């Protein structure tokens, strides 16, 4: 039996185990960089497979193979959840106020499945596979922290890949969607604008400096930033997700706050957007007799898809799933890239990397909600394909790059 058919067959036999692991993780989500129960769960499962592991930067790291036989490829799966109250009605729904609404429970369980597949053929590997179970992706700090604590060292990592499952898009379940070469996600920056005015009675607005009015005018001004100051075709977003100020209908408050995110691809555009946001916030506040201070946080870089790894990802995918199992991302995401952000970008800054999408739920099949929604869910029937692709990609990459 050919390797790819044998691996798919063995992965399919792990399907129930992968689903059970996913449901356990989904039922008990944890947030941010501290995931004690999730880390314990992953390490316990790895130990049951005969794989030793260690805690690095809030996540779990394990190795399968022998770095003396060849290179090392890193497979990454993230583990953290979101501060969302779940509304799916699933029998294994979250039992706390957090939720796996971005598929990280799927990533973790499929990577555990891949670990079992790889351990079974450890002696055949032409090098080493490093497993990276990461905390803190949703806060965009986990990958950076794990790098700082040595995840890319001992043994030195030569390349890296990750899978992200998608739901809520019209692609047949279990298909690989291939993002474009180069920047495949947008770099996110977060901002908070603190507006100061002068409060007073709502019956005497002439004696006040209304910070809510300044916030509204600032919102309108920032909405023109992309449409009027960024050249057509350039990828950039400025989204305000929170505005607050005041506690009573008849009182003009002293202060107001605006918070949002800027997403860009080009470093020059990123710097331009930052500078203009500060100028607009301060200038608009001054026009209306108030003042504004801006807190601006650069979060993470874009994920950069290495050309050679992308080419291999397509080839390996077709070997494993057939010609019709691999699709270009363009019909599902604009120009073959994600408008969202991924802190795997920190990894792709350091080593040749590739991010692939695996479709796991379409609206026509009962999965209308995409990521970060309280009703997000994924098609469990295809989970084994994630484990198979992780394992097959690693084995084939080591062979091709030995």
Residue 335: predicted pLDDT: 66
Residue 329 or 138, more confident: 138
Residue 330: predicted pLDDT: 61
Residue 164 has pLDDT above 80, yes or no: yes
Q: Mind listing the pLDDT tens digit for each residue in 321-378?
A: 999 999 877 655 666 677 788 999 999 999 999 999 999 999 999 999 999 999 999 9
Q: Mind listing the pLDDT tens digit for each residue in 83-130?
A: 999 999 999 999 999 999 999 999 999 999 999 999 999 999 999 999
Q: Which stretch of 48-57, 151-160, 208-217, 295-304 has the lowest confidence by average pLDDT?
A: 295-304
The mean pLDDT value of the chain amounts to 94
Residue 333: predicted pLDDT: 61
CATH numeric code, 187-298: 3.30.70.360
- pTM, entire model: 0.90
Q: What average pLDDT does this structure show over 157-184?
A: 93
In the chain, what percentage of residues exceed pLDDT 90? 89
CATH topology of domain 3-184+302-400: Aminopeptidase (3.40.630)
CA distances from 47 to 24, 114, 177, 388 (A): 17, 14, 32, 20
Q: Mind listing the pLDDT tens digit for each residue in 27-86?
A: 999 999 999 999 999 999 999 999 999 999 999 999 999 999 999 999 999 999 999 999
Residue 171: predicted pLDDT: 86
Domain boundaries, the chain: 3-184+302-400, 187-298
Residue 308: predicted pLDDT: 96
Same fold, 3-184+302-400 and 187-298: no
Residue 334: predicted pLDDT: 61
Residue 1: predicted pLDDT: 44
Give the integer Cα–Cα distance in Å for 113 and 393: 14
Q: Work out whether strand 71-78 and strand 159-166 pair parallel, antiparallel, or are unpaired.
A: parallel
């Amino acid at each position: 039996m050919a390797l790819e058919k044998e691996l798919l067959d063995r992965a399919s036999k792990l399907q129930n185990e992968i689903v059970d692991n996913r449901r356990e993780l989904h039922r008990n989500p944890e947030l941010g960089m501290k995931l004690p129960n999730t880390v314990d769960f992953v390490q316990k499962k790895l130990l049951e497979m005969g794989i030793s592991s260690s805690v690095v930067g809030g996540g779990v790291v394990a190795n399968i193979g022998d770095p003396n036989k060849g290179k090392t490829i890193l497979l990454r799966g993230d583990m953290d959840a979101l501060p969302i109250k779940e509304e799916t009605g699933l029998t294994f729904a979250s039992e706390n106020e957090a939720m796996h609404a971005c598929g990280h429970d799927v990533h973790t369980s499929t990577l555990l499945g891949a670990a079992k597949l790889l351990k079974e053929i450890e002696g055949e590997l032409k090098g080493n596979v490093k497993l990276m179970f990461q905390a803190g992706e949703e806060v965009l700090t986990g990958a950076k922290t794990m790098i700082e604590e040595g995840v890319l060292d001992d043994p030195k990592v030569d390349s890296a890949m990750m899978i992200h499952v998608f739901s809520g898009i019209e692609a047949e379940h279990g298909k690989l969607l291939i993002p474009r070469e180069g920047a495949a996600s947008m770099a996110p920056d977060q901002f908070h604008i603190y507006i100061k005015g002068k409060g007073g009675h709502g019956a005497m607005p002439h004696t006040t400096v209304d910070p809510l009015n300044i916030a509204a005018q600032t919102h309108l001004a920032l909405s023109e930033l992309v449409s009027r100051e960024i050249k057509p075709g350039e990828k950039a977003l400025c989204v305000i997700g929170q505005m607050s100020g005041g506690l009573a209908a008849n009182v003009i408050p002293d202060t107001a706050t605006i918070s949002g995110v800027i997403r860009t691809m080009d470093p020059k555009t990123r710097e331009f957007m930052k500078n203009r946001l500060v100028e607009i916030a301060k200038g608009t506040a001054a026009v209306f007799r108030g003042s504004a201070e801006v807190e601006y946080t650069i979060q993470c870089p874009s994920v950069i898809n290495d050309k050679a790894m992308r080419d291999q990802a397509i080839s390996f995918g077709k070997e494993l799933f057939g010609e019709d199992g691999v699709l270009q991302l363009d019909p599902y995401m604009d120009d073959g890239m994600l408008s969202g952000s991924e802190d795997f970008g920190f990894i792709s800054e350091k080593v040749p990397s590739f991010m692939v999408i695996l479709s796991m739920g379409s609206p026509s099949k009962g999965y209308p909600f995409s990521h970060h929604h309280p009703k997000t869910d994924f098609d469990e029937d295809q989970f084994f394909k994630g484990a198979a692709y992780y394992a097959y990609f690693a084995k084939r990459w080591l062979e091709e790059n030995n």
